[in-house]
Amino acid sequence: MAFKVLIIDDSDMVRHFHANILKSAGFDADQAIDGMDALEKTTQNSYSLLLCDLNMPRMDGVTFIKEFRKTGKETPVIIITTQEEAENRKLGYTSGANLYITKPVKPDELIINIKMLLGIT
């Protein structure tokens, strides 16, 4: 079974960087440019996991996660952001995120965390 991950970030460079990490580990990667785009994609497709930035135009990551969780889907969500403050971390978790990672991301660490959340050994 191929695991499909949605990368939600307004930066083309970050999306492509994360997509390359995922593809090198055998995951399928799809991309969304912000929370609005991601909400649309999550209604049309099924994903194994979501990687989500916090600061994005139109719909930020916290708002997206709250809206996504209202659908009843329990897909794991990893926030990947530059926001290191404890209040942002708390906000991320209370919105429904499963994990909170600060950028820059270490590729090996990201894959280990994704595998842990997906139950892949």
Query: What are φ and ψ of residue 57, in 5° steps?
Result: -70, 170
Task: Extract the tokens encoding 109.
Answer: 């660490």
Task: Extract the tokens encoding 106.
Answer: 């270490």
Average pLDDT over the chain, rounded to whole? Answer: 95
Instruction: Assign 119 to helix, strand or coil.
Output: coil
What is the reported pTM?
0.95
Domains of the chain: 4-118 (3.40.50.2300)
What's the rounded Cα separation, in Å, for the pair 80 and 9?
A: 9
Residue range 26-59, pLDDT digits in tens: 999 999 999 999 999 999 999 999 999 999 999 9
What's the rounded Cα separation, in Å, for the pair 51 and 2?
A: 17
| Spatial CB neighbours of 43, under 8 Å, sequence gap ≥ 6 | 71
